């Protein structure tokens, strides 16, 4: 089926995705090209091959989807959610414009909207993979996982990939996941996969739940800490009332911007975020996007930063 989707003024599809998905490290499972992105989306027990193209920033999205039983509206709603098309960043942009240090960055991120994971399970596994490694390294590990455990689907001449299911992760086993370089994270990922398969923890049911409930539920799993849940809130639930303030990447970035290269402490990051009001977490997100896209110049994230559990 072919669909179209209207977008916020100036929305830039590829830049929004490349804020967190490196163009040279794919599939994760997304694959991108000059004017679009494709992957296999999951809807409970259904799946759909989807390609989204945009001729230029601000242009209507053109969608090509292939599914046996999903409706057009189900496809549209999934794409709107994953691409963050309904997220309002206007307050964050205003806060950036009013801050003399970062006002020149604001125009470059006007078209950025938060890109979230296809499912909370996928977002949680990816957040665990990001622990203690650079974001690029996390993408490399995710690529290995996708290529090893899933198979390519084809649509319009392009190879599209899904994210591994909980069953596929379990079937790979500890030896298989460690062979991909996941190290100590293997146990945590297998535990989460096991909980998902058994239904002991309804991971997808956490969508829409308050931060405290998500934190209480997931931190009971060994290997899942505050940073991981806060990252998931953004990358999986699209919740910008919280932020992983203890992330060394944002500490380094703000230190370069505001403190002549001296890394900010977690408390200093929180204080700076509060200076932007309720828009603080979104401002931090947009700054990190600008950094990944290479729009912050020499004050970008240090390549050696680590991400805590």
Residue 152, pLDDT > 50, answer yes
pLDDT at position 45 is 82
CA distances from residue 172 to 62, 114, 185 in whole angstroms, order as listed: 36, 31, 14
Contacts 24+ apart (CB under 8 A), 209-214: 211/239, 211/241, 211/242
Residue 305, pLDDT > 80, answer no
Per-residue pLDDT of 18-59, as tens digits, reads 998 999 999 999 999 999 999 999 998 899 999 999 999 999
Residue 169, pLDDT > 50, answer yes
Of 34, 27, 37, the closest CA to residue 5 belongs to 37
Residue 197 to residue 142: CA distance in whole angstroms: 20
pLDDT at position 302 is 33
pLDDT at position 68 is 86
Residue 299, pLDDT > 70, answer no
Band of pLDDT at residue 60, cut at 50, 70 and 90:
very high
Cβ pair 125, 191 in contact under 8 A: no
Output the six-digit token pair for 280. 């603080």
Output the six-digit token pair for 303. 């390549």
Cβ pair 245, 226 in contact under 8 A: no
Per-residue pLDDT of 173-222, as tens digits, reads 999 999 999 999 999 999 999 999 999 999 999 999 999 999 999 999 99
Residue 230, pLDDT > 50, answer yes
CA distances from residue 185 to 135, 174, 178, 182, 224 in whole angstroms, order as listed: 15, 10, 9, 6, 10
Residue 290 to residue 70: CA distance in whole angstroms: 35
The proportion of the chain whose per-residue pLDDT surpasses 70, expressed as a percent, equals 96
Band of pLDDT at residue 309, cut at 50, 70 and 90:
low
Per-residue pLDDT of 76-97, as tens digits, reads 999 999 999 999 999 999 999 9
pLDDT at position 44 is 84
Mean pLDDT of the chain: 93
pLDDT at position 297 is 65
pLDDT at position 135 is 87
Per-residue pLDDT of 127-137, as tens digits, reads 999 998 888 99
């Amino acid at each position: 089926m072919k669909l179209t989707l209207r977008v916020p003024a100036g929305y830039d599809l590829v830049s929004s995705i490349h804020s967190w998905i490196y163009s040279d490290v794919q599939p994760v499972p997304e694959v991108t090209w000059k004017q679009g992105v494709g992957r296999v989306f999951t809807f409970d027990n259904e799946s759909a091959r989807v390609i989204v193209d945009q001729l230029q920033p601000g242009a209507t999205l053109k969608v090509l989807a292939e599914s046996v039983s999903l409706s057009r509206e189900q496809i549209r709603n999934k794409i709107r959610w994953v691409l963050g098309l309904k997220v309002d960043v206007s307050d964050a942009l205003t806060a950036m414009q009013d801050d003399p240090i970062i006002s020149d960055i604001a125009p470059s991120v006007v078209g950025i909207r938060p890109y979230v994971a296809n499912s909370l399970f996928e977002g949680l596994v990816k957040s665990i993979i990001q622990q203690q490694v650079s974001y690029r390294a996390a993408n490399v590990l995710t690529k290995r996982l996708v290529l090893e455990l899933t198979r390519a689907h084809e649509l319009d001449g392009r190879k599209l990939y899904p994210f591994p299911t909980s069953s596929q992760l379990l079937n790979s086993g500890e030896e298989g996941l460690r062979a991909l370089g996941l190290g100590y994270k293997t146990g945590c990922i297998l535990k989460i996969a096991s909980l998902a398969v058994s239904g002991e923890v309804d991971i997808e049911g956490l969508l829409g739940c308050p931060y405290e409930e998500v934190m209480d539920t997931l931190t009971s799993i060994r290997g899942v800490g505050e940073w991981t849940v806060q990252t998931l809130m953004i990358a999986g639930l699209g919740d910008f009332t919280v932020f992983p303030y203890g992330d060394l990447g944002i500490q380094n970035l703000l230190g370069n911007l505001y403190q002549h290269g001296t890394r900010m402490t977690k408390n200093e990051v929180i204080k700076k975020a509060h200076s932007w009001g309720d828009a603080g977490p979104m401002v931090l997100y947009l700054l990190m996007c600008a950094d990944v896209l290479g729009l912050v110049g020499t004050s970008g994230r240090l390549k050696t930063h680590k991400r805590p559990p």
